[in-house]
Amino acid sequence: MMGRQPKVQNKLFYTAINLEQRVRQNHILRKVKRTIDFEFIYNEVKDTYGLNGNESVAPPIILKIVEIGGQSLNSE
């Protein structure tokens, strides 16, 4: 079953940590978030997911992990 990415995630693990306050305003990932709408990925991969079972990690998150991982490999 395909998972969905939450629209807003201000808090991470602990309620005292607010991501909006911790990530600087000029961080590259903020620019990516403003520029690219990752909603298209759900339609691209919907035929590869079943209708029952455990909910997966949201496809946009998987794509972002792969991209970030690729960037860190290329920078070495």
Quick: pLDDT tens for 39-65: 899 899 989 888 888 888 888 888 888
Q: Where are the alpha helices (DSSP H) in the chain?
A: 19-22, 28-35, 40-45, 59-74
User: Does pLDDT of 75 surpass 60?
Assistant: no
Contact at 8 Å (CB) between 57 and 3? yes
Which band of pLDDT confidence, cut at 50, 70 and 90, is reported for residue 70?
Answer: low
**SS3 state of residue 48:** helix
Q: Give mean pLDDT, residues 29-38.
A: 86
Task: Check residue 10 and give its pLDDT.
Answer: 56
Q: Residue 76: is its pLDDT beyond 80?
A: no
Q: Is the pLDDT of residue 20 over 80?
A: no
d(CA 51, CA 74): 37
